[in-house]
Amino acid sequence: MDPEKLKAKAVEKGVITQEEAEAMSHGQALRLIFAPGFSTAEKVSDVSGRGVGMDVVRSNIEKLKGVIELESAVGKGSTVKIKIPLTLAILPTLHCKVGSERYGIPLASVKETVRMPCSEVQTIRGKSVVKLREEILPLAFLREVLDVESAPLPELCVVVLQVGAQRLGCVVDDTIGQEEVVIKPLDAIKHICPTPFFSGAAILGNGTITLIVDVSELMRLVHAGGGPQEDISIDNRQLTIDNSKDVFMALLVEDGGAEQYALPIKPIKKIENIPASEIEIVGGRKVVRNDGNVLPVVHLYDITNFPPSKPESDVYLVIMGEDAERTGLVVNGLRGIKPIDRREAEDCFSSGGIAFSMVLGGRVTLVIADGTVFQRSRDYLNSQRASSAMEAALVSQKRGRILVADDSAVARESIRKFLLESGFDVVLAVDGKDALQKLSGIDLVVTDLEMPEMNGYELTRAIKKEHPGLPIIMVTTRDGEEDRLEGLKAGVDDYQAKLDGLKLVHSVQRHIKR
């Protein structure tokens, strides 16, 4: 497809103006084929020329929470990629707070969450944007989109979303956590109250209702009028800072003290928010399990020798490097991305891990020397003790054998997926009696409460009678005090909400270590 011909036809049919056509990028021009009423056919027939084909295709794919991507080169051909979720019954979501309301965002569209000062927000062509790791990210403030009252916040909580090639920062008051929910359609109320920014609703375990944000509609709102994200990338060139030997971009981090630290951004691959309890000691060295691998990590205070003012339950893991050289830096907080000018450096705080210091935004900023994080990890990885310990850690990831007993096929598969992704072997049982026949070689049992013939309490008593040391975790939507007491009396080791896969995995890891 020729982008110039597409733009000319769109102007001719009144789909866009001449000024909009001139400002369009290659990708935007290709996406014109999805516009309602657009067609390149010279004559209207029963099968072509009405401009409803690709528009209908895209609309139906998005109704299924899918994505359609388009690539084309003149004289070579075109590629259309369609991605459809495997199941629509249970949807993993990130729950966020906006004012007094709670909303869910499909995890499939969430790339990461970041926090940054409000001062990082800039305005380009009337749109709010931030610079995230040298890329311009357009913002959508959910409180404004949904018209929800919300008090001003000291910093931005940005959920970075991606649909196809488009990215968007969704600003919320705070993130609550991840949860798998069963989606209920809103078709019955759409004729009474239009719901353009919601794809459905979910009833949580405590009975409250959470609306699920339609990410595609949110993207369309933000990019309407000014075109998709490529428009903003034009201004990105104007904002690019001279990355010479004197000036470079750095991620600002902190450990809770008065000073902050700057980490060169070039080697950083991604940032994750993790529970501090996930950091383990293997062979005398700190590691975390990440994407199926054991990742060596160092704390910020291991480099600076300045201990944090107080420990945090959740920390940020800054992952750096490529493949075998990959390592992680653990910090308590993120402060955004800023340019660092070496010419403004002072050396009064320089040490083995600190290259120089400077005052940035009114705060003392200590710049971490290039390669320091890698060197700390490399010294350990080159030792024979470390190599053996890491190999042992990788092997141990597959040694946990978990028995999952649940009469619901959907719930069994959901729990199985979470456990497999965390490195455990999983055995499935369709009810309590079936579970009793499959206990050989099992390290831990995850059981539902309400099952036919033999419920979770009865199964727990039967297992504890023959295997008193075998850990048992009960998962259920019933979380009343009486239910928990009954479970404890039966011998249950832990009690978890049925759809919170993340907390379940953490509980399994904790009880297997015992």
pLDDT digit string, tens, across residues 472-503: 998 877 666 677 777 778 888 888 877 677 77
Work out the percent of the chain whose per-residue pLDDT is above 70: 77
Q: Is the pLDDT of residue 65 over 80?
A: no
Q: What is the mean pLDDT of residues 390-396?
A: 41
Specify which residues 151 forms β-bridges with. none
Contacts of residue 372, defined as CB under 8 A and 6 or more positions apart, other chains included, come to: 303, 353
**Given this model, what pLDDT does residue 460 score?**
92
pLDDT of residue 463: 93
Which structure tokens are listed for 319?
A: 């992952």
pLDDT over threshold 70, residue 388: no
Instruction: Tell me the C-alpha distance between 426 and 291, whole Å.
Output: 18
Q: Who wins on pLDDT, 365 or 134?
A: 365
- The string of pLDDT tens digits covering residues 336-373 is 878 888 777 765 454 567 777 777 776 778 888 767 77
Using a cut of 0.85, tell me whether the model's pTM lies above it: no
Average pLDDT of the residues of the chain? 76
Phi, psi of 151 (to 5 degrees): -70, 150
Reported for 123-132, long-range contacts at CB under 8 A and 24+ positions apart, including other chains, are: 124/232, 124/235, 125/226, 125/231, 125/232, 125/235, 126/226, 127/222, 127/226, 127/232, 129/232, 130/156, 130/158, 130/169, 131/239, 131/337, 132/158, 132/160, 132/169, 132/337
Closest by CA to 157, choosing from 145, 169, 147, is: 169
- The segment with the largest mean pLDDT, out of 142-151, 206-215, 235-244, 400-409, is 400-409
Spatial contact of 453 and 433, defined as CB atoms under 8 Å apart: yes
Count of residues for the chain?
A: 514
Q: What is the structure's pLDDT at 459? A: 93
Which pLDDT tens digit goes with each residue over 300-314?
877 776 666 566 678
Nearest to 211 by CA among 100, 308, 120, 95: 95
Q: Are 326 and 295 in contact (CB under 8 A)?
A: yes
The model's pLDDT over 422-459, given as tens digits with 9 standing for 90+, comes to 778 889 999 999 999 999 889 999 999 888 888 889 99
CB distance 38 to 50 below 8 Å? no
DSSP annotation of 342: G
pLDDT band at 323 (very low <50, low <70, confident <90, very high): low
pLDDT of residue 81: 86
CA angle, 169 then 173 then 178, to 5°: 75
The span from the CA of 475 to the CA of 347, in Å, is 56
* Arithmetic mean of pLDDT, 112-136: 80
